[in-house]
Amino acid sequence: MSVLVGKKAPFFEAVAVVNGGDFVEKFSLDQYIGKKHVIFFFYPLDFTFVCPTELIAFQDKIAEFEKRNVAVVGCSTDSKYSHWTWLRTERKNGGIKGVTYPIVSDLSKTIATNYDVLAGEYIYNEDGTIEFDGIAQAFRGLFLIDKQGIVRHQVVNDMPLGRSIDEALRMVDALQFYEENGEVCPADWHKGDKAMKETAEGVAEYLSHH
């Protein structure tokens, strides 16, 4: 598994479904550089079981991300038509109707490959033919990208393990606090908690109160 933290987020242009049903043919995260932080997350497959709980949970907290000037973008290896249909399907029928943030179609699996979250790979057989080894779906990868397009946080879950959207928000708060104040955020830090200066004295002062 590649560690992308500290590196430029891999570039892509791909079709995405935005605003719950509109196609954007050349969607790119570069549109947010200099403007917004980005939570870019992968999920395995439309019309499954854990996945809709995550996508709806992100939507339920979308106002909190927007308040922090953070763009939320999802991605899976499904087609744009699968995304569109899922977004138009009522939740009681297994859909995610009401989700408004962009969902990228990575049908070629190149985006998941570049972010190193694909649960399989193409291999050459002895006869020179190509086949796919593994599962042609993405793990539950999540990447926090700053305004310069640099990955500052990543976490990857196996497919049965749903993510914590509150933890994603906490990491956004920690990064933005550090960017604005220059102080580092200790273990289990939450917005409003005391941080500490990145010095021996700062650590000693913080620990003396805990």
Helices (H), 74-137: 80-88, 110-114
Report pLDDT digits (tens) over 35-44. Answer: 999 999 999 9
- Tell me if the pTM is above 0.85: yes
**Alpha-carbon gap, residue 88 to 17, rounded angstroms:** 11
Pairing between strand 37-42 and 130-138? unpaired
Angle at 5 between CA 104 and CA 61, to 5 degrees: 50
Is the pLDDT confidence value at 199 over 80? no
User: CB 77: neighbour CB atoms within 10 A?
Assistant: 26
- Which class in CATH covers the domain with range 14-161? alpha beta
What crossing angle do the helices spanning 50-60 and 165-181 adopt, rounded to 10°?
40
Q: Report long-range pairs for 2-6 (Cβ below 8 Å, ≥24 apart).
A: 2/115, 2/116, 3/154, 4/115, 4/116, 4/143, 4/151, 4/154, 5/151, 5/152, 5/153, 5/154, 6/150, 6/151, 6/152
Report the chain's mean pLDDT, rounded to a whole number. 93
Positions annotated as catalytic residues are 51
Report pLDDT digits (tens) over 101-121. Answer: 999 999 999 999 999 999 988
Burial category of 35 from C-beta neighbours within 10 Å (exposed 0-12, middle 13-18, buried 19 and up)? exposed
Is the pLDDT confidence value at 133 over 60? yes
Q: What is the DSSP letter of 101?
A: S
Q: What are the boundaries of each domain within the chain?
A: 14-161, 164-210
